[in-house]
Amino acid sequence: MFKSKKKMAALTLSLVMATGALAACGNKDNNDAGTGNKGAESGDKPVTINMFTASPEYTEAFNAYIAEYKKVKPNVTINLEIMQADYNTVLKSRIAAGSTPDVFQTTAGGDIDTFAEYSADLTNEPLAAAMTDAVKINMTSSDGKVLGLPVKNNLMMMIYNKKLLADAGISEVPKTTAQMEDVIAKLEAKGITPFANAYKEWWVWKHIFQNFVDAAAEDAGITPKELVNKFIAGETTFKDHPVLNDNFFKFIDLTVKHGTDKPLERDSNAEVSDFALGKAAFMTGKGAWDEEAIKKITPDIEIGIAGYPVSEKAEQSKLIVGADQALRINKDSKVAAETIAFFNWLYTSDYGKSWFSDVAKVIPPIKDAPLPKLDMPRLMEEALKTEAAGDLSVNYSLDTFHQKFGELMQAYIGGSKSKDQAIEEIQKAWVQFGTSK
């Protein structure tokens, strides 16, 4: 059971996802057929693994690796249950009731510690050795244990329509705030809307904000993690960091003023549609996971990627790479050993290495795996040959904070809160919800 109200709040996670869901709910009692380590050794006793996730966009991909593993271990049945809108509430209630699924999904980073007491230690498993160093950090607890499995590696940035920029005579993507304002003017002179937004979603806000957090930390001479910890401890304020106090809000104001109509009514799918149909030149708050959805609408669209213009320092405009979603293995599951064996297979086998790029079509979180044949991962690989990636600083706060942050920013652009009111409440929320401790 949860030990405090603060921990209960910390468990209220929400996860980034597309629409659609599949539920193939397994019966918890089926796990009685599992025999822990002995079951893994014998390899022939029936075993059922119940897997509860919040990523409906990967339903087909998850089912593909489940079917493939059935060929490797015919005695293992994996029941996949996927939930979207109410996932966080249902997961919290199941854990509180002592019915923790064998496999469940959370955000990474700070939430690795939130769920530590329910998670198997994977530090010495082959799957941990297979992870890239950057991803493994996101799966590691504050005491150095690998307690999560990355769903994917991720890429977050602005996405732009190359043709629309060319039509407006724009040859260079903006890297500074002044350049962004110049690009906006050129686009609008040609009748092109600059921004497609999805501000109905609370989670897009954290993807934008982290770019400004990274820049503020650099200006302060500390790491993004150190800066976030200072906010959580109440030791600093937005006014100490002009990039947060001024630049972030100016950028949001620009995206609203020069964006698609009714921003608080535009969700993730609407933004993808707006962008794919050429109704706007830039997408905000999103990432590489959107490419296939965009190209289903407009297969021949030419996509570009760029860091956010956060200041007048062009070098602070960076692509952000890292793992922000984790699968966890219930350490008290009767089939924990069999479940670990399954994921060891996925993260180290030839099939697993190809699954990330060819089936799930995501940036692999493991070493020696090919990139998917998509534009954004290819552009990322090319850009990172000469530019440094930004820190995935969303991982240093819990999603309980990020959800509150998104709600406060929605209130700000909706006009029910002033900038100063929003900032004051964001700072309070960081202290209240910022950590699992």
The label of the residue with tokens 């190359």 reads 162
End-to-end CA distance of the chain: 15
Average pLDDT over residues 217-232: 96
Where residue 283 falls (left for φ over 0; alpha for ψ -120 to 50; beta otherwise) is beta
Average pLDDT over residues 128-154: 92
CA triplet 130, 135, 138: central angle to 5 degrees?
130
- Phi, psi values for residue 303, rounded to 5°: -100, 140
User: What are the pLDDT digits (tens) for 181-192?
Assistant: 999 999 999 999
Residue 318 pLDDT > 60 = yes
Rounded (10°) angle between helices 224-232 and 419-433: 90
Does domain 158-318+398-433 fall under CATH 3.40.190.10? My reply is: yes
Residue 23 pLDDT > 70 = no
Break the chain into its structural domains and give their ranges.
5-153+325-370, 158-318+398-433
Fold identical between 5-153+325-370 and 158-318+398-433?
Answer: yes
Contact 186, 179 (CB under 8 A): no
Average pLDDT over residues 21-29: 35
Q: What is the pLDDT of residue 12?
A: 38
Q: What is the pLDDT of residue 85?
A: 64
User: What are the pLDDT digits (tens) for 60-82?
Assistant: 999 999 999 999 999 999 999 99
Q: What is the pLDDT of residue 9?
A: 39
- What CA–CA distance (Å, rounded) separates 304 from 375? 8
- Phi, psi values for residue 390, rounded to 5°: -80, 165
User: What are the pLDDT digits (tens) for 78-93?
Assistant: 999 998 667 878 998 9
Average pLDDT over residues 354-358: 94
- Identify the architecture of domain 5-153+325-370 in CATH: 3-Layer(aba) Sandwich (3.40)
Contact 363, 179 (CB under 8 A): no
Contact 404, 429 (CB under 8 A): yes
Q: What is the pLDDT of residue 43?
A: 53
- Phi, psi values for residue 341, rounded to 5°: -60, -40
What is the token pair recorded at 427? 């700072």
User: What are the pLDDT digits (tens) for 85-121?
Assistant: 678 789 989 999 999 999 999 989 888 998 999 999 9
Q: 76-82 and 303-306 as β-strands: parallel, antiparallel, unpaired?
A: unpaired
Kind plus residue range of the DSSP H or E element containing 321: strand 320-322
On average, the pLDDT of the chain sits at 89
Whether the model clears a pTM of 0.85, i.e. scores above it, the answer is no
Amino acid present at 154: N
Q: 285 to each of 209, 225, 233, how far by Cα in Å?
A: 9, 21, 27
- What CA–CA distance (Å, rounded) separates 430 from 230? 10
